[in-house]
Structure 1
């Protein structure tokens, strides 16, 4: 069940760091990281390790995740592509 929750969350919210996923879904960090590893091994998500500056200059290491091969729909109001030169 955790896998489905994580996949739906990433599809709805896009690229997120593991600490944000934990905060928004209530899943335990240790369980989430195990789930992330499983999803990555099945090529359902892509990940990278990042280090951010947290509160009071403390470094926070996390895993950034996104759905593999997912392209979100175009935002409303985008301009049409440029016409080829004549």
Structure 2
């Protein structure tokens, strides 16, 4: 389970399929780890439907709890406050 959490910390938001491929473990194991991490509130997990070549497939998307991605580079719109 800690390997899954480390993978999420290293790469940010990832699909369960990507985590399983990188860690070389079965998809069911990754989903069990994500469920346990979500129960302990160390990760946020949601189910998503994605399309590849017009065919839908269901995946779980996970990220570390409390993670806010850094702002993108470039100019930002000015706030009107």
TM-score category, normalised to shorter length: 0.7 to 0.9
TM-score (norm 1): 0.76
Q: Which runs of 4+ in 1 moved over 4 A?
A: none
For residues 1-86 of structure 1, the aligned pairs below 5 Å read 3-54=1-52, 56-71=53-68, 74=70
Structure showing greater radius of gyration is 1
Matched pairs, number: 80
Equivalents in 2 of 1:36, 1:78: separation in Å? 34
CA RMSD, Structure 1 to Structure 2 (Å): 2.3
User: Unaligned regions of 5+ residues in structure 1, if any?
Assistant: none
- Write the deviation string for residues 34-67 of structure 1: whole angstroms up to 9, x where unpaired: 111111000000011100112x322110010000
TM-score (norm 2): 0.81
